Amino acid sequence: MKLGNDQRERLQTLPSRLKAIITGQDRVIDQVVERLQHGELGLCAPGRPKASFLFLGPTGVGKTELTLQFTADLIGPNRVVRLDMSEYQTAERLGLLLGTADEPGRVAEGFDACAGSGTLLFDEIEKAHPRVLDVLLQLLDAARLTTGRNRVLDFSNWYVVLTSNIGGPRIMTLRKSKYETMERLVLQDAQRELRPEIFARITLAVVFAKLDYDAQCTIAHGLVARECAALGDRGFALAPSEPVSSVVIQRGYHERLGARPMRDAAELLIRNALARNLLCGGNGDGQLRPHPDGNRLDVGQAHL
Ligand SMILES: Nc1ncnc2c1ncn2[C@@H]1O[C@H](COP(=O)(O)OP(=O)(O)OP(=O)(O)O)[C@@H](O)[C@H]1O
Ligand SMILES: [Mg+2]
């Protein structure tokens, strides 16, 4: 497939755009982008989705975020159809997704939303019901699903992402190990726990790294800058000082939940500081600094 200059440039620079948003996962991003480039250039297997990925690794390290970002970048906003496998366990819920049991091999009309192109995201794949896995297999194999009303849906223009926390307990016990050791062991766990025919059809399985302190700092810094910019739009001029990030990490980074709670923590810390400043007669402008107790932030002069 021949690309225009714009498209070529966008595909070439995709890694740097993704790395600017998703921190500490450069290795994963490089591998994923290779497959995305193949997908966009039409270099994928014919009659299959453009690429299919298995994203493994701990909670809150960017698996869903990367899916949202690459889809928004390559295809457009709101083109991720997200199916949380833990929500499709009962016959009633399965019926909504897959149609009724007397129509084997046919999915419900819910998939009709999947016209055009986008990414189908199957979250927590290790919890998927066997009937969902049958449909997934069909999807990975032939990029086609038939609905109860006999409509054939074509997914050959779609990406498929499966995410899983398989190996989570192992990652927790391997805190000090090298990334390569963790990667090898988690991939082994996944191969053992997932159906081999699914594993065999995935284009790429990757293990996201735990976020080290540098990555946490970069994320905290970005969240603080974003919140300050949002408050700037409302007329408050807040200038964050460097140590603010460490308070956000201390309050928002969680060994088990990763960076997931950091956004809320940054927002709450900054708004609390601003509210205190306003309630004490300030105008909401000033430097954002850690409070001497190290647990909250202040707006105003530096505490010496
Ligand atoms: N590597 C990262 N770089 C920047 N922000 C991140 C990163 N990882 C997580 N975050 C922040 O944490 C939030 C949650 O991350 P995300 O949803 O990608 O987690 P996940 O890896 O999919 O976890 P889970 O396995 O629980 O689904 C993101 O919306 C983002 O704000
Ligand atoms: Mg996720």
Ligand 1 atom index nearest CA of 208: 21
Q: What pLDDT shows up at residue 102?
A: 58
The answer to whether the CB of 82 falls within 8 A of the CB of 279 is no
pLDDT greater than 70 at residue 111: no
Q: What pLDDT shows up at residue 110?
A: 60
For residue 116, what is the domain's CATH number?
Answer: 3.40.50.300
Q: What pLDDT shows up at residue 168?
A: 78
β 297-300/286-290 pair status: antiparallel
How far apart are the CA of 87 and the centre of ligand 2, in A?
Answer: 14
pLDDT greater than 90 at residue 67: yes
Domain boundary among 150, 178, 207: 207
Burial class (CB within 10 angstroms; exposed 0-12, middle 13-18, buried 19+) of 59: middle
161/68 Cα distance (integer angstroms): 10
- What is the per-residue DSSP string for 123-141? ESGGG--HHHHHHHHHHHH
Q: What pLDDT shows up at residue 172?
A: 74
β 286-290/204-207 pair status: unpaired
How far apart are the CA of 69 and the centre of ligand 2, in A?
Answer: 13
pLDDT category at 31 given cuts 50, 70, 90 is very high
Tokens of 257: 């939940």
Q: What pLDDT shows up at residue 303?
A: 45
The residue type at 186: V
**Residues 255, 130: one domain?**
no
**Residues 235, 164: one domain?**
no
Instruction: Give the number of the ligand closest to the Cα of residue 165.
Output: 1
The answer to whether the CB of 48 falls within 8 A of the CB of 95 is no
Domain boundary among 207, 228, 255: 207
pTM for this structure? 0.90
In whole numbers, what is the pLDDT of the chain averaged over residues?
A: 89
Q: Which of 231, 226, 278 is nearest to 248 (CA)?
A: 226
- What is the tally of structural domains in the chain? 2
Q: What pLDDT shows up at residue 302?
A: 45
Instruction: Give the number of the ligand closest to the Cα of residue 56.
Output: 1
